[in-house]
Chains A and B, each alone.
Chain A
């Protein structure tokens, strides 16, 4: 579904060049939940940004459903690929109502049956039509993240890029959103690529995890191996120990 082959990405400032991603290779199957874990600055979000087209000028090859994304125009790319961001308040236009927020992607693509699509997407994320006239600041953080997810699935994508989708939320709300993501994954046969710094969250949702450090993937482990502690790289072991010690 997603094939990333030796992806590298440099950022240049006035004085120096910095390698943000170095030689990343990943294969993610259809319907898989794949996790990226690592500390801030390890490059996990940068991979998502390369995929989503927010970063240009990377080297290597990224293919989605067998087609190179470098050759796919952005409008076409967003048919298969949608993203959910960390902070739902920053991701939703503060002066657009929920109706406007959800109808915008449909308008851009010129989709006809807008009202039905909006209603279906809202029901899918556990909200209803009564939210449509409201503004983002009038609903709770958890509801805002639900709206952001509704906007992502409204175009019926096959891949969702999730960038720390729950880390700005309280734990009780995090549980609701994780449950929602799990059920959407099943109902819509979505492929997830999720970034988180929290191994507990990653292991809850993802079958496989890539552990990142300083722009490189140090290890790819399955959930079972992670839970059993079958990891080889010392950095993975360190992260795992921190996660276990906090339970």
Chain B
């Protein structure tokens, strides 16, 4: 059975100019795999991630034929049940560690707290577990880092702390929303390696939200390409080179390349028919 089932998910925002239909009929199932959701800004990829955890603002309308974690319906379950799911079963890593860590609590205490919320465990045991976790995310001096505050550590280290915090309750699914786009290229690779190692070791399924097709091509198993709120293509990452949808192809071709330099880069012409078809052609 799939870990997560999403069928015909629709999200509508209420704005001053009327309703904005941000996600249209998105369906997918997540098994034990690394699934990427790729698209440009405004395509609705982050909104899908938030809708799964019911993190959208109260005025947002979320409808779906089915939105379920294993056999638990995420649309109808109580807020109390949702709180058990958040963190313990599904957790989320945000883009910028600077804004997602509590600035006035030491990073070690934040990691330990993530564990203590979900499990009856002594303060000391939680501290030990947090130190182990810091070691797991390749932080060389965990005892020192444990007592540091978010502003004292670098962006790459902050993102490792975030990963540690999200992995420590051993959830079933991690939703990572652009976890590396705020980081430098050399740090990006380290963070991705750590994330891969941990989710494989702990058997966690991953939803990886990104705008970067090249990154996703190497890192994930399957890719959903979103355009204007719809999934226009669902494809195995290894098949991306043979993608059929013009939008997917356009995204890949518009990147400047070191190996094959072109005088002018191909520019995408957006076909209104992409939306009318409502999915893969």
Interface residues of chain A, those whose CB is within 8 Å of chain B, are: 39-40, 141, 170-172, 174-176, 178-179, 182, 197-201, 203-204, 223, 226-227, 238-240, 242-247
A247 close to B186 (CB less than 8 A): no
Instruction: Find chain B residues with CB under 8 A from A197 CB.
Output: 184-185
Would you give the shortest CB distance from B44 to chain A, in whole angstroms?
Answer: 14
Instruction: Find chain A residues with CB under 8 A from B213 CB.
Output: 171
Q: Is B222 an interface residue (CB 8 A)?
A: no
B265 close to A175 (CB less than 8 A): yes
A40-B155, A204-B265 known; 18 new pairs, CB 8 Å cut-off, are A39-B186, A40-B184, A170-B40, A171-B213, A171-B254, A171-B255, A172-B268, A175-B255, A175-B266, A176-B267, A197-B184, A199-B258, A203-B256, A204-B256, A204-B257, A238-B186, A239-B185, A247-B259
Interface residues of chain B, those whose CB is within 8 Å of chain A, are: 40-41, 155, 184-186, 188-189, 211, 213-215, 218, 250-251, 254-259, 261, 263-268
B211 close to A170 (CB less than 8 A): yes
The B contact surface, by secondary structure, is loop
A203 close to B258 (CB less than 8 A): yes
Instruction: Find chain B residues with CB under 8 A from A172 CB.
Output: 40, 250-251, 254, 267-268
Would you give the shortest CB distance from B157 to chain A, in whole angstroms?
Answer: 14
17 A–B contacts, CB within 8 A, in A order: A39-B186, A40-B184, A174-B256, A175-B255, A175-B256, A175-B267, A179-B264, A200-B257, A204-B256, A204-B257, A204-B265, A227-B258, A244-B258, A244-B259, A246-B215, A247-B257, A247-B258
Partner of B255, one of A39, A200, A223: A200
B261 close to A227 (CB less than 8 A): yes
A171-B255, A226-B258 known; A179-B185 Cβ under 8 A: no
CA distance A238 to B186 in the complex (A): 8
The A contact surface, by secondary structure, is helix
CA distance A243 to B259 in the complex (A): 10
A39 close to B184 (CB less than 8 A): yes
A179-B267, A203-B261 known; A246-B218 Cβ under 8 A: yes
Would you give the shortest CB distance from A109 to chain B, in whole angstroms?
Answer: 33
B254 close to A175 (CB less than 8 A): yes
The 6 A-B residue pairs whose C-beta atoms are closest, nearest first, are A204-B256, A175-B254, A175-B265, A170-B40, A39-B184, A200-B256
Instruction: Find chain B residues with CB under 8 A from A244 CB.
Output: 258-259
Would you give the shortest CB distance from B197 to chain A, in whole angstroms?
Answer: 18
Instruction: Find chain B residues with CB under 8 A from A247 CB.
Output: 214, 257-259
Instruction: Find chain B residues with CB under 8 A from A176 CB.
Output: 267
A243 close to B258 (CB less than 8 A): yes
CA distance A200 to B185 in the complex (A): 12
CA distance A147 to B255 in the complex (A): 23
A178-B265, A199-B258 known; A170-B184 Cβ under 8 A: no
Instruction: Find chain B residues with CB under 8 A from A203 CB.
Output: 256, 258, 261
Instruction: Find chain A residues with CB under 8 A from B186 CB.
Output: 39, 238-239, 242
Would you give the shortest CB distance from B34 to chain A, in whole angstroms?
Answer: 17
